[in-house]
Amino acid sequence: MIKNQKPIINKVIIPNGILTTKKGKRIGYLLFLNFEFQNICDEVKKVLREMTEASQLDGIVIDNRINQGGYKNVEEEILSYFTEGKVCYYVDCHKTKRYCNVKGNDINGTSKIPLVILIGPETASSGETFSLALREKGRAYLIGGETAGLLESLGGFDFEDGSYAWFANEIYKPKSHSRRITSQNKLLTDYHVPTLWEEVSDEKDPSINAALDYFDRYS
């Protein structure tokens, strides 16, 4: 993820919908493509308001399977719709810790609604840290496959010739020791579903089906 930079403003659409489980539970679905644009936050807020105004949701599925990250402040604002407090910290090469403290911004009960987050090999950077932060706060159940393992925070550097480069200068650490991270910094799921895109269609998505089954069993 990128820190200390101003995100670009661009037209953003958050694919979303309402799903129904076999037991008739009302589940919201949001697909996060990235966290690269500041107005993603406004669009997510709008979608959540629309989903929850008619009647309460029984759960929310956040699809991060192709979310390869973006700006840290965008990630943290969207996190605030679902949780609050210290969610993690970052460590630099000098072992200095920088804590991420999220101020809650509940939208019609979204901070309490059960969450399932879908992840996979293309989930990277702040797509990963967002997912792990909610898992470590006890807010989300992870379904899918191992992620890319890119938990670093990037900082920019200007050269005298006018060129610009990004460097990894911090690494994400959960607030407490996590068994959800491998030695290669990849996230592990709570329930593994093979991520084979050739098996996914508009009518059939094994990870979404597993999420709906989870809500029927546990929420």
215/186: higher pLDDT: 215
List, in order, residues 6 or more apart from 15 with CB less than 8 Å away.
Answer: 30, 31, 33
* 4 within some domain: no
Top-confidence range, 2-6, 26-30, 50-54, 191-195 = 26-30
Tokens for 163? 């060129």
Q: How far apart are the first and last CA of the chain?
A: 32
What percent of the chain shows pLDDT beyond 90?
A: 58
In single-letter form, the type of residue at position 25 comes to K
Evaluate if residue 158 carries a pLDDT over 90.
Answer: no
Q: What is the DSSP string of 115-145?
A: EEEEE-TT--THHHHHHHHHHHTT-EEEEE-
Rg (CA), the chain: 17
Query: Residue 204's pLDDT is what?
Result: 84
* 6 within some domain: no
Query: Residue 102's pLDDT is what?
Result: 92
16/2: higher pLDDT: 16
Which pTM does this prediction carry?
A: 0.86
* 207 within some domain: yes
* 9 within some domain: no
CA distance 198 to 2: 32
What percent of the chain shows pLDDT beyond 70?
A: 89
Across 11-31, average pLDDT:
93
* Residue 35 DSSP class: B
CATH of the domain at 123: 3.90.226.10
* 11 within some domain: no
200/186: higher pLDDT: 186
Query: Residue 2's pLDDT is what?
Result: 46
Number of domains composing the chain: 1
* 2 within some domain: no
Alpha helix (H) ranges present in the chain?
A: 40-54, 72-79, 126-136, 206-218
CA atoms within 13 Å, Cβ hemisphere of 130: 35
CA distance 157 to 121: 29
Average pLDDT for the chain: 87
Which domain covers residue 177, as residue numbers? 16-218
Query: Residue 56's pLDDT is what?
Result: 92
Query: Residue 217's pLDDT is what?
Result: 95
Evaluate if residue 57 carries a pLDDT over 50.
Answer: yes
Evaluate if residue 9 carries a pLDDT over 60.
Answer: no
2/213: higher pLDDT: 213
* 164 within some domain: yes
8 A C-beta contact, residue 79 and residue 111:
no
- According to DSSP, the β-strands at 140-144 and 115-119 are parallel
Q: Helix, strand, coil proportions of the chain in percent (round to 5)?
A: 25, 30, 45
* 10 within some domain: no
Q: What is the pLDDT of residues 105-153, one digit of tens each?
A: 999 999 999 999 999 999 999 999 999 999 989 999 999 999 998 887 7
